Structure 1
Amino acid sequence: MGKKENPLLAYYAQEERFAQLMNGWLLGGEPYFTAQNISEADRRLDGRSGKRRGREYRQRYRDLFKKLDNTFVRLYIGTELMEYVDYAMPLRIMDCDVLSYIHQKNAVSKGHMEQKDLKQDEYLSQFSREDRLLPVINLVLYLGEKPWDGATRLHEMLALHQIPEKLKQYVEDYSIHILDVCHTPDERLREFPPDICFMLMCIKYAKDKKAFLRLTEWSGCTDISEDTFETITEYLGESEFLEHEGRGGREGEKANMGIIRELIEDGRKEGVNLGINQGIEWTKQIFKLAGEGMTQQEIAKRLSIPEERVKQVLE
């Protein structure tokens, strides 16, 4: 794990921000999780296999690992995910999942050994029929410019073409969950809470000044919190975005992303200046499309505006 993603890790390590990210990612924006639902989980995973002499030890670290009520959620924001696509990602995550469940099982077994409450088969396995492990969810936040073209499931890594068709059903698959930020449609990003949406769109459009100017409008976030702003400026501070704005070389290296603050302020001012004209045009289009029988959701998608705005106009 490198230094570039440290601002993001610090940001999402906050229970409130992690909850917002999960609500947007897993629940389509439904405000289900709050900071009170989230607690820290051990980021380190250890595993061992084989007999004493040939025993192999494995250790893995998760970028972030939180407990959401009765579910463990692991979030990867690794340097390698920003630099290149990890073509072995399904295998890497599957290994971490196995270690997570073994870690839980060992804790349960230790409790039984202390309690001495198991007999027969349960004693041999050190796991009772009623014991249950907490589910583990793995999420990969991919921030690369290149579209994710690696495997998203284990079967895509296997030479299944070399075995008979009838045998394929016995080869277990394993899927992973990736949010490819720079190639995710805006309407999907708008399902995230405003601050998170704004941050993800800043990353997506860091090299597009015209789009950047309209981010507060597109994301629905007109009041950016200080920690969100600082995270964006720190994360994008040494990116190619500076070179795109003609600030390369020594000056560019020293720049602290004041350019982003300027763009945000310009976007706000431009939003005020264009707001009336755009509002009139949107209103005309909304009534026109509604007259053609389109639903509010369809109108919002067609015009790339929040559905709530369509609802306000029609009501």
Structure 2
Amino acid sequence: MNSIDIESKKFLGQPKNFVSIFNALLFDGKQVLKPEYLKDENSELVMNVSSKHVDIIKRYEDGTYLDLFVIESQSYVDQSMVARVMEYESVARMRYIRQNFKKHVPMHTRLPMILTVVLYVGESKWNAAKRLSELEIIHPGFEDMFNEFKLNLIELNTNHKYNTGEKATQDFFDLLRMIYRKQILKEDLDREFNRDALYFAYVVTKNKELLNIYQKNEKGDVKVCRALDEMFEESTNKGIQMGIKQGIEQGIEQGIEQGSEKKELEMYRKMMDKGFEIKTIASIFSVSEESIKKLLMKA
């Protein structure tokens, strides 16, 4: 298990943080799902499904519904993710059936809802399938028979701003957006961020400035943005200086090239003035007649 998986379980496994991911995706941050109704799923299901790299599985019991919520934290683009999530949910459903019904499922029985959210924390664009129809070949005429499956995907590297309704996860979401976009809003310069969110953002991005800030502040919320803003500005200035340097080098190369062409042109003209034909000049200098003609036309 890598460091991202470990920190993901620690950070997202906290009840308030866990339900906020679903509230962000489903209810725009409204506190519809409550952390007090969450329970850890410690059955065989976790062993069976978690072995396939699912991060966190929890039961939700509020007296009316019994649901199973799953979070998969993903740091890289996986083309097979749609199929993987389908497998997780199928395993969970069959496990529930085997544990609760001896022979067959009684008529009118309704199974618990199983809902999986993929939290994509990578920097590169998610260009993999988001629907099963984008992964499988569907032949003409079979569209109506095809069973579609849609990925519940949260992407933190886009312009879309999610509202989680919970400070820790909101801080984590916003930190990743700032780092990936290399942009700090003016109103965020003195904003204080949750320390756990700061560390999780460091683990995901490997941004050393985040680690420095985390280590300097042993407890409480932390101001981050001014240091990041200075880092982004320094990085931009370095990029500009590098661009200027490359431009100067290219200019020198072009100058040398242009100077060489000028000398060739003068030589060709002198020889033509003395009566040499282009064919003869080309033969003497081992160049094509076409190249001499092009040079004369450019002048």
Q: Which residue of 2 aligns with 1:87?
A: 79
The aligned length equals 218
**Higher deviation after alignment, 29-38 or 255-264:** 255-264
CA deviations on 1:85-126 (whole Å, 9 max, x unpaired) are: 10001111111111000001001224xxxxxxxxxxxxxx52
Matched, 1:151 2:112: no
CA deviations on 1:165-198 (whole Å, 9 max, x unpaired) are: 2222112111111101111423xx2454333222
Q: Which residue of 2 aligns with 1:174?
A: 149
**Distance of 1:154 and 1:207 partners within structure 2:** 28
Q: CA RMSD in A?
A: 3.1
Percent sequence identity is 13
Check conservation: 2:171, 2:197, Cα contact below 8 A: no
Partner residue of 1:202 out of 160, 172, 175: 175
Q: Which residue of 1 aligns with 2:89?
A: 97
What pairs up with 1:282-293 in 2 under 5 angstroms? none
Q: Taking structure 2 as the reference length, what is the TM-score of the superposition? A: 0.63
**Distance of 1:28 and 1:233 partners within structure 2:** 25
> Are the structure 2 counterparts of residues 178 and 10 from structure 1 closer, same or farther at C-alpha, using a change threshold of 3 Å?
same
Following superposition, the deviation at residue 129 of structure 1 comes to 0.7
Following superposition, the deviation at residue 265 of structure 1 comes to 7.1
Which is greater in Rg?
2
Q: Taking structure 1 as the reference length, what is the TM-score of the superposition? A: 0.60
Residue type at the aligned position of 2:90: V
What pairs up with 1:299-314 in 2 under 5 angstroms? none
Q: Which residue of 1 aligns with 2:2?
A: 2
What pairs up with 1:178-193 in 2 under 5 angstroms? 178-186=153-161, 189-190=162-163, 192-193=165-166
Tell me, what secondary structure is at the counterpart of 1:60?
A: coil
Q: Which residue of 1 aligns with 2:196?
A: 230
> Are the structure 2 counterparts of residues 176 and 10 from structure 1 closer, same or farther at C-alpha, using a change threshold of 3 Å?
same
* Residue segments in structure 2 that go unaligned for 5+ positions in a row: 229-299
Matched, 1:130 2:91: no
Residue type at the aligned position of 1:91: A
Partner residue of 1:263 out of 204, 221, 224: 224
Matched, 1:11 2:7: no
Residue type at the aligned position of 2:56: L
Tell me, what secondary structure is at the counterpart of 2:184?
A: helix
> Are the structure 2 counterparts of residues 213 and 97 from structure 1 closer, same or farther at C-alpha, using a change threshold of 3 Å?
same
> Are the structure 2 counterparts of residues 61 and 191 from structure 1 closer, same or farther at C-alpha, using a change threshold of 3 Å?
closer
Check conservation: 1:7, 1:231, Cα contact below 8 A: no
**Distance of 2:127 and 2:204 partners within structure 1:** 26
**Distance of 1:61 and 1:190 partners within structure 2:** 26
Residue type at the aligned position of 2:39: S
Matched, 1:71 2:67: yes
Check conservation: 2:21, 2:164, Cα contact below 8 A: no
